[in-house]
Structure 1
Amino acid sequence: MEVGYAVRNSQGEVVRMIGSIRDVNHEVILKNRLKSSYQRLSEFRKALDQSTNIILTDLDGIILDANQSTVELSGYSKEELIGSHTRVNRSGYHPKEFYQTMWNTIKAGKEWKGELKNRRKDGSHYWVFTTIFPLKDKFGNVYRFLAVRTDITEQKEAQEKIFQSFEKIKASEKKYSDLFHFSPLPMWVFDLDTLRVLDVNEAALTNYGYDRDEFVGISIFDFRPEDQVGTMKEFLEKNPGNFTVSKEKFIHQKKSGEQMIVEIFSIPIEFEGKLAQLVLANDVTTTVRYLEKVEAQNKILKDIAWTQSHIVRAPLARLMAIVQLIKDGIVDLDELNQYLGLLDSSALELDQVIREISEKANKLEN
């Protein structure tokens, strides 16, 4: 890089030239590295945009931006969404208290997670697992909300069909028997007094690794990890002898010791003259792990976006300002070395920021 300017006398005549030649290889490397990082980040964002719904709102819930995945799932155009309130998606399924709790949480600067049943423009419904991130300025004040949503409609509809089948069981022992014995999902019946298993289907035996003689008669605590027994006892204390149709998530342990996350559907029935509970265990380990991975990637993208908007600007602005001063001939010879030093330190600072962005992008790749 060659930087120079003319020194003129009082008549405006050029009397000498002052200039410097500086190796810009370092800056070229920085520029290429930054370009590469941005390109990779753009690819990650494109992949995320295809699989995840992203909505940006102000503090009042007015939509400021929405990605293409959100447009396709909701049925609204981007123009229709931007400027609308998020309640445009409400289905009427959740009570007002549900939304009040959600808003109280995010306005307090805390993340909120949950399942939402929303309504498309055509009136049909869909389910999304949603994480809402409060975005904060440099003073720690919340000024935006970023909602990241994953479509779980198929999973919820399948669960709802099973749940509805359970409710029909009360009126038909034959339906119970057919559903129980031929279900591909693990099911068992346990005694409400002793909390021991009375009957179990083949799917449960296969999934949990027990034979029938081992499974029938064991306590419902026996297929839970030791650190989860307290959680189950706490659940039972909150529902003492008063089991109803319910749906909860627990950690279960197979005979081999392998653990899995299960969503439990249960319903009270009468079994061989005893008050009992019919249980269906749906293994959701893969789904939960996937959602956790998506959430982790979303947090990394959030960090990268914050770094780009807050950290990159400072050294980049200094670089541009110093170069402009030298280019305009405002800097005299005595100040030149000082400004070149600032130019170098700003370039090094920008290099470090780019390295951090690259490291975070690598985490997404892995």
Structure 2
Amino acid sequence: METLPQMSNENKNNNLAPQDDDVMHSIFFNTSADLFSIISNDGFFIEVNAAWKSTLGYSKEDLVGKPFEKFLHPDDIEKTSLEFVNMVKGQEVINFIRRYRASDGSYKWLEWKGKVSEKNNRIYAVSRDVTIEKQLETELLSGKEIYKEIFYSNPNPMWIFDLETLAFLEVNQTTIDQYGYTKEEFLSLTLKDITPEEDMPALMSSAIKAISEYNADHELWRHITKSGEIIFAELSAKSLIYEGKKARSVIINNISKRVEAEKALLESENKYRTY
């Protein structure tokens, strides 16, 4: 009776086959909510992912072969061109925010990160829609009444907390829905009550820094809901004076599903590498 050939130790220790690696990169590229793009060193789109369609309304055919400057707000072209030159020279550009025209003629704020590849001299960039954050920043600084409307109707969790006591001063409905506490319960809690014990030193250190730093962007935290579930939260925060108190306005992006997907993909990758 014939037996199946035994897998050699060499094969067991091999990394993923090139085609497997290509598949995983394709999954990340095409399913991410962030806008991925590959741009030539003279500023033309070479490749984009599906998030461009869902965010700005442009298909791949609308963008590939076109200069990225064509979609910029006229007032942002000069500044962006300077940043692009820096990227082509090899400098990694992080967190620059510019306005891009959507297919309906409106403008959205995109926050960019990009770096040139030494292998092919192309720019590999990722951006995300920060239009809501920019609106909030504008309204916070101007003190307009519309800020309240943005805060309470925001599809992302938002809260305001006291910088000295870390007590919650205000929360929006999305926070209540995702964390499970009533508004009254939230206003009796502090950030310590929703932070895992092992993360407490980092929380206290962050609170001290927040007193002297106006902004916090893309910080990753774990929060505990009323049911005990752990939420992975990416947050941005701005300082303000709220009802006479030094406070912090926070907007949360719940990335728990993304973290779970990345964990599953890593486990799958490790599984492949054992064969």
TM-score (structure 1 length as normaliser): 0.46
Preserved CA contact (<8 Å) 2:151 2:172: yes
Give me the whole-angstrom Cα distance separating, in 2, the residues matched to 1:174 and 1:94. Answer: 32
The aligned counterpart of 1:165 is 135
Give the corresponding residue for 1:17: none
How far apart are the structure 2 equivalents of 1:119 and 1:266? 30
Query: Does residue 1:186 correspond to 2:186, yes or no?
Result: no
**Counterpart of 1:30 in structure 2: which amino acid?**
P
When Rg is computed on C-alpha atoms for both structures, the one with the higher figure is: 1
Q: 1:241 to 1:88 in 2, by over 3 A?
A: closer
Residues 178 and 89 (structure 1 numbering): CA distance in 2 closer, same or farther, change over 3 Å? farther
Contact 1:90 1:118 in 2 (8 A): yes
Q: CA deviation at 1:242?
A: 1.9
1:30 maps to 2:1 = no
Distance in 2 (CA, whole Å) between partners of 1:176 and 1:166 is: 6
Residue 100 (structure 1) aligns with: none
Q: Distance in 1 between matches of 2:244 and 2:125?
A: 41
> What is the DSSP-based 3-state SS (H/G/I as helix, E as strand, rest coil) of the residue aligned with 2:192?
coil
Change (3 A) 1:172 1:291: same
Q: Secondary structure at the match of 1:189?
A: strand
Matches within 5 A, 1:1-366: 25-26=2-3, 29-30=4-5, 44-45=20-21, 47-52=23-28, 72-73=47-48, 93-94=93-94, 116-118=113-115, 126-127=125-126, 153=127, 157-158=128-129, 160-168=130-138, 169-237=140-208, 239=209, 241-247=211-217, 248-301=219-272, 303=273, 357=275
Equivalent AA in structure 2 for residue 48 of structure 1? M
Greater relative contact order structure (CA < 8 Å, 6+ sep): 2
CA distance in 1, matches of 2:143, 2:135: 11
Mapped contact 1:243–1:277 kept (Cα < 8 A): no
Contact kept, 8 Å, 1:166 with 1:267, in 2: the verdict is no
Could you report, residue by residue, the CA deviation over 1:186-212 in whole angstroms, capped at 9, with x for unpaired residues? Answer: 111111222211111111111110111
Q: 1:45 to 1:178 in 2, by over 3 A?
A: same
Q: Structure 1: which 5+ runs fail to align? A: 1-22, 54-70, 77-86, 96-114, 128-152, 304-355, 358-366
Q: 1:89 to 1:285 in 2, by over 3 A?
A: farther
Counterpart residue type for residue 50 of structure 1 = S
**Residue identity opposite 1:277 in structure 2:** R
What's the % identity of the aligned pairs?
20
Q: How many angstroms apart in 2 are the aligned matches of 1:203 and 1:279?
A: 13
Q: 1:211 and 1:89, CA in 2 relative to 1: closer, same or farther beyond 3 A?
A: farther
Give 1:94 deviation, angstroms.
Answer: 3.9
Q: 1:42 to 1:286 in 2, by over 3 A?
A: same
Counterpart contact for 2:163–2:210, Cα < 8 Å: no
Paired amino acid for 2:26: Q
Partner of 1:221, secondary structure, is helix
Residue matched to 2:43: none
Indicate if the aligned counterparts of 2:192 and 2:200 stay in contact, CA closer than 8 A: yes
Query: 2:160 and 2:174 mapped to 1: Cα distance?
Result: 13
**C-alpha distance in 1, partners of 2:206/2:190?**
15
The SS at the match of 1:222 is helix
List per-residue Cα deviations over 1:239-259 (Å, max 9, x = no partner): 162241112110000011111
Distance 1:163 1:41, change over 3 A: same
How far does the alpha carbon of each residue in 1:10-62 deviate from its partner, in whole angstroms, 9 at most, with x for none?
xxxxxxxxxxxxx9x34xx32999xxx9xx96874563253257xxxxxxxxx
Query: Which residue of structure 2 aligns with residue 352 of structure 1?
Result: none
Q: 1:11 maps to which residue?
A: none
Q: What is the aligned residue count?
A: 199
Would the alpha carbon gap of residues 206 and 89 (structure 1) be closer, same or farther in structure 2, given more than 3 Å must change? farther
Q: How far 1:263 sits from its partner (Å)?
A: 0.7
Which SS does the other structure have where 1:188 is aligned?
A: strand
What RMSD in Å do the two structures reach over aligned CA positions?
A: 4.0
After superposition, the C-alpha distances for 1:109-168 in whole angstroms (9 at most, x for unaligned) are xxxxxx9524799x99731xxxxxxxxxxxxxxxxxxxxxxxxx4xxx22x223322321
TM-score normalised by length of structure 2: 0.59
